[in-house]
Structure 1
Amino acid sequence: MDGKSDLNPFYHELHYSTYQIVKIVLMSVFVVPLRLIAVTFALSLGWLICVLTVRGLTHEELKKPLRGWRRWIQRELGPPVAQFVFFTIGFLFIRTRGRRATKKEAPILTMAPHSSWTDALLHFVDDISSPVSRMDNAELPIIGAMVKFLQPVCVSRDMANSRSDSLNEIKRRAKQPENSSDTSAIDWKQVALFPEGTTTNRKCLISFKTGAFQPGVPVQPVVVRWPNYFDCVTWAFVGPSVYKLIWLQMCQPITFVEVEYLPVYIPSEEEKENPTLFANNVRQVMASALKIPVRNYSHRDGVQFRRRFLASQHGWTTKFTILEKLAQKIGLVPKMLEDVVKYLSQKQHSADLISREYLEDLIGLEAETKSKMDVRESYEEFLPLIQNAEGAISLQKFIVLVSLWLCKKQKAVEPLKYLIQASGIDDMSQLSRTSVENCLKTIFPSNFQSKSDLIADMFKLNAISFDRLKNGLIRDDNDIFS
């Protein structure tokens, strides 16, 4: 997945025009301070209302719809207060199209694309809804009271039973009770969730999780558009931080958002039996309305892309630190790694790509050792350093990284010959200019052009020896090769 590809849903880059820069400076000086006062007041008011509403309720009581005055505050006072909070940061108008279905018509609202922290506002458009939220959010200071006030369906990616419990809760809230003493499902508002399960840059719709579709009830697709010239709402895996986005958001005189309610989608009998088919068909309807393609990516793809992207930004010193940390965790000494790259450099490979299993066998990473939390974290941090753009493990990247690490560790350039031999060159006394250029492109992918003087100096003759290459590299880049 190319980091800046038009269809990469996990990458977002801001482009500042002169007008935007001037506007941000002026707004930061004259408007943002006033907005900060306003939003602080609005949040404090909202927090106080939430705290008073849920005060004294047990965890079990919060699993049932609120009653009496608490219910009135949640459903009548909650939405305008939430809209006031967003009003203070620039959401002056929210345009809606279509008609929101009743709970009887569609117990579940499926919203997409999920692209911003401000998507929380959508739970208060027209009417309040039952959101799906991370379990951790309920324990956060200030935000926790607001989450409890909304009584969301809580889910955790880390807890084994969380997904099944959340699915059962969605089913319970969505399905009307039949001949049952539990009539609380009638009192719950519509369940509203973003089936993508993570944020993207809205360039495509990624795979829908099936939680909203497993109950087999009608759903109403809701598409969200942000028709702003300067996009400071998109929160992707790689891009501006949420803090920077909040600041830029405050610097915009007005932020436009459009919510469109599509016709209720009633599943067929086949879709009721096959939630994945149901989810894919609804996704296609929403993608057609948005005029964007669909792509089968998931939250895990976003995490892996972020790791690979960050790995590509690392200098060699950082990469060496990550490799050394893994080596220490699994008991790999430099001599063992040198034996591995020596073996690989002399072995003829039909392809550059290797499997995880092959890599783990090479470095002696056993299943029992890998199951340890600290080892697994170090291993997952190491893998992006040797993966290509598609996430496959590159044998060449592994040899390059380990060879250069050995150069640094041993304060010698000798291990560099493994890198050269891996490219199929056996005669180390006659290295061609092409082979050396390829070697330097591998070592210095981001600043290869700066090595033109080094290449010109070394190649006063048609070919050079490995010793001449070593001397040139030591003189040119003392940080690695000494």
Structure 2
Amino acid sequence: MQDSETTNEEENATFIAEHGRLLRPVSHSAFDPFRRHSSKPPLLIDLLIKFSAIILIPLRLSVALISIFLSYIVVRLFGPVVTNHSLTHFEPTVLPRWRRALVEAATKFLGRALLFSLGFWTVEGTDHPEYDHRKAQKATILTNHSSLADPCLLAYLYAPAFVAKSNVWKIPGVGRVGAAQHAFYIDRLNNGGISVTQAISDRQRIVDSSSSDIPPVAIFPEGTTTNGKHMLAFRTGAFVAGLPVAPVLIRYEYTWFSPTYESIRTRPYLMGILSQPWNRVRYYRLPIYYPSEAEKKDPVLFANNVHAMMVRESEAAFREQLVSSNSNYTDKLEYHAITRGAKLRKGLQLHLDSPVSASDNPSAST
């Protein structure tokens, strides 16, 4: 018994040395944005869903593959040349208007086709009375992030340049279509020694000042996905340039399986969303937010004010206000470590807002 306690103390000491503190209990409020809220359908409905999945999944995958192939062909023929240099350095080479229109149409087509293949038969959305789509195309598109379908929806609405992980570039066809819209593949930028924030700011300024049709930048300022009921604190990268932003609110409605992608693993997520006969999404586009002089000088103030405005407007948009949260991606990793039994990356510094004792640590033996 003594040896067990000593071993546990040593493990706790090692964990604290690596991460700053012990894991928090799974009930901690910092993990609320990442808790999944799906429910099990009744047995008969569950059997019907599984039966329909045998037909739905192959059909949906076929739609996705065909749409990716068609969009890929269009951007290869009419889009800009993509090189390793162009992936890390944006050069505002303007395509002829008709070619840019084709590339934009291919991107929007792919976004809508992928939504369709994921079971979103219809896309419902409304605009604030003061929303101006032409001006939004010159601003930076911002939205809450809760599903893998979010980029598809924004591609359909705006055909923007996404700030995406380098893994997206490796997705056959999809990565090339994104590159045609000058997407940011951020790992490549970092590896090239270029500040991602600086690259985003430079692109924002080019889009804002150019009279040509350059795709707007689209950013998920929360930095990760939630369960759709919360809005995480915004990162400041989208706000450093001090330029207008076009906020969009997205909400997924469901009966049993939630299309949100917060803590569910990728394989069961894809199986669930592809098996469900239909999925529902709604969006609400807010007016362009023009920063004040104080906000232009203070990205944190700018980010916080846009965040507060989006939380406030979510009540009018969906009759249910999003919950403002100070949680972030590190909290999500910690939650996954607790619920999945995964090991946290060595050296990852956890938040110090709520240190816990060994007796509170769910991983400690009792």
SS in 2 for 1:102: helix
| Separation in structure 2 between the aligned mates of residue 226 and residue 104 of structure 1, nearest angstrom | 23
Segment of structure 1 superposing worse, 264-273 or 126-135 = 126-135
Asked if 1:394 corresponds to 2:357, the answer is yes
Q: Could you say which residue in structure 2 is the equivalent of 1:364?
A: none
Cα distance per residue 1:403-441 (max 9 Å; x no partner): xxxxxxxxxxxxxxxxxxxxxxxxxxxxxxxxxxxxxxx
SS in 2 for 1:110: strand
Aligned-residue CA RMSD in angstroms? 3.5
Q: Could you say which residue in structure 2 is the equivalent of 1:218?
A: 244
Cα distance per residue 1:322-355 (max 9 Å; x no partner): 8xxxxxxxxxxxxxxxxxxxxxxxxxxxxxxxxx
Which residue of 302, 305, 312 maps to 1:278? 302
Q: Could you say which residue in structure 2 is the equivalent of 1:43?
A: 68
Which residue of 18, 21, 26 maps to 2:51? 26
1:150 Cα offset (Å):
2.8
Q: Could you say which residue in structure 2 is the equivalent of 1:94?
A: 123
Q: Could you say which residue in structure 1 is the equivalent of 2:187?
A: 156
| Separation in structure 1 between the aligned mates of residue 122 and residue 136 of structure 2, nearest angstrom | 28
Asked if 1:204 corresponds to 2:230, the answer is yes
Given that 2:140 and 2:246 are in contact with CA atoms closer than 8 Å, whether structure 1 keeps it comes out as yes
Q: Could you say which residue in structure 2 is the equivalent of 1:12?
A: 36
TM-score of the aligned structures, taking structure 2 as reference length: 0.76
- Relative to 1, partners in 2 of residues 1:377 and 1:89: Cα closer, same or farther, differing over 3 Å? closer
Given that 1:53 and 1:149 are in contact with CA atoms closer than 8 Å, whether structure 2 keeps it comes out as no
- Equivalent residue letter for 1:67: L
| Separation in structure 1 between the aligned mates of residue 360 and residue 305 of structure 2, nearest angstrom | 40
Which residue of 97, 100, 105 maps to 1:76? 105
| Separation in structure 2 between the aligned mates of residue 378 and residue 77 of structure 1, nearest angstrom | 42
Cα distance per residue 1:14-41 (max 9 Å; x no partner): 3212154133212123333333333332
| Separation in structure 2 between the aligned mates of residue 300 and residue 157 of structure 1, nearest angstrom | 22
- Relative to 1, partners in 2 of residues 1:377 and 1:2: Cα closer, same or farther, differing over 3 Å? closer
| Separation in structure 2 between the aligned mates of residue 153 and residue 73 of structure 1, nearest angstrom | 21
| Separation in structure 2 between the aligned mates of residue 66 and residue 122 of structure 1, nearest angstrom | 25
Asked if 1:122 corresponds to 2:153, the answer is yes
Cα distance per residue 1:376-403 (max 9 Å; x no partner): 95576xx99xx99x863534589x96xx
Asked if 1:138 corresponds to 2:162, the answer is no
Given that 1:232 and 1:245 are in contact with CA atoms closer than 8 Å, whether structure 2 keeps it comes out as no
Which residue of 135, 140, 143 maps to 1:111? 143
1:404-415 aligned at under 5 Å gives the runs none
1:175 Cα offset (Å):
2.3
| Separation in structure 2 between the aligned mates of residue 4 and residue 158 of structure 1, nearest angstrom | 37
| Separation in structure 1 between the aligned mates of residue 172 and residue 187 of structure 2, nearest angstrom | 18
| Separation in structure 1 between the aligned mates of residue 106 and residue 171 of structure 2, nearest angstrom | 23
1:214 Cα offset (Å):
1.1
- Say how many residue pairs are matched: 327
| Separation in structure 2 between the aligned mates of residue 105 and residue 76 of structure 1, nearest angstrom | 15
Q: Could you say which residue in structure 2 is the equivalent of 1:293?
A: 323
* Identical residues among aligned pairs (%): 23
1:160 Cα offset (Å):
7.7
- Equivalent residue letter for 1:123: L
SS in 2 for 1:187: coil
Higher relative contact order (CA 8 A, sep 6+): 2
1:111 Cα offset (Å):
0.7
- Equivalent residue letter for 1:222: V
| Separation in structure 1 between the aligned mates of residue 28 and residue 48 of structure 2, nearest angstrom | 29
- Relative to 1, partners in 2 of residues 1:304 and 1:61: Cα closer, same or farther, differing over 3 Å? closer
SS in 2 for 1:117: coil
- Equivalent residue letter for 2:310: M
| Separation in structure 1 between the aligned mates of residue 356 and residue 229 of structure 2, nearest angstrom | 27
Asked if 1:268 corresponds to 2:314, the answer is no
- Relative to 1, partners in 2 of residues 1:47 and 1:160: Cα closer, same or farther, differing over 3 Å? closer
| Separation in structure 1 between the aligned mates of residue 84 and residue 221 of structure 2, nearest angstrom | 26
Given that 1:129 and 1:189 are in contact with CA atoms closer than 8 Å, whether structure 2 keeps it comes out as yes
Given that 1:103 and 1:190 are in contact with CA atoms closer than 8 Å, whether structure 2 keeps it comes out as no
Cα distance per residue 1:71-110 (max 9 Å; x no partner): 2321123212331232133121111211453247851121
Runs (4+) of structure 1 exceeding 6 A deviation are none
Q: Could you say which residue in structure 2 is the equivalent of 1:191?
A: 217
Which residue of 266, 271, 283 maps to 1:242? 266
- Relative to 1, partners in 2 of residues 1:29 and 1:309: Cα closer, same or farther, differing over 3 Å? closer
Segment of structure 1 superposing worse, 21-30 or 41-50 = 41-50
1:172-191 aligned at under 5 Å gives the runs 172-175=202-205, 186-191=212-217
| Separation in structure 2 between the aligned mates of residue 177 and residue 235 of structure 1, nearest angstrom | 31
1:54-73 aligned at under 5 Å gives the runs 56-61=81-86, 63-64=90-91, 65=93, 67-68=95-96, 70-73=99-102
| Separation in structure 2 between the aligned mates of residue 29 and residue 287 of structure 1, nearest angstrom | 40
Q: Could you say which residue in structure 2 is the equivalent of 1:327?
A: none
1:220 Cα offset (Å):
1.8
Given that 2:232 and 2:327 are in contact with CA atoms closer than 8 Å, whether structure 1 keeps it comes out as yes
SS in 2 for 1:27: helix
| Separation in structure 1 between the aligned mates of residue 142 and residue 80 of structure 2, nearest angstrom | 31
SS in 2 for 1:144: helix
- Larger of the two Rg values belongs to structure: 1
- Equivalent residue letter for 2:355: A
- Relative to 1, partners in 2 of residues 1:391 and 1:159: Cα closer, same or farther, differing over 3 Å? farther
- Relative to 1, partners in 2 of residues 1:44 and 1:379: Cα closer, same or farther, differing over 3 Å? same
SS in 2 for 1:14: coil
SS in 1 for 2:159: coil
1:42 Cα offset (Å):
2.4
- Relative to 1, partners in 2 of residues 1:76 and 1:21: Cα closer, same or farther, differing over 3 Å? same
- Relative to 1, partners in 2 of residues 1:21 and 1:154: Cα closer, same or farther, differing over 3 Å? same
TM-score of the aligned structures, taking structure 1 as reference length: 0.59
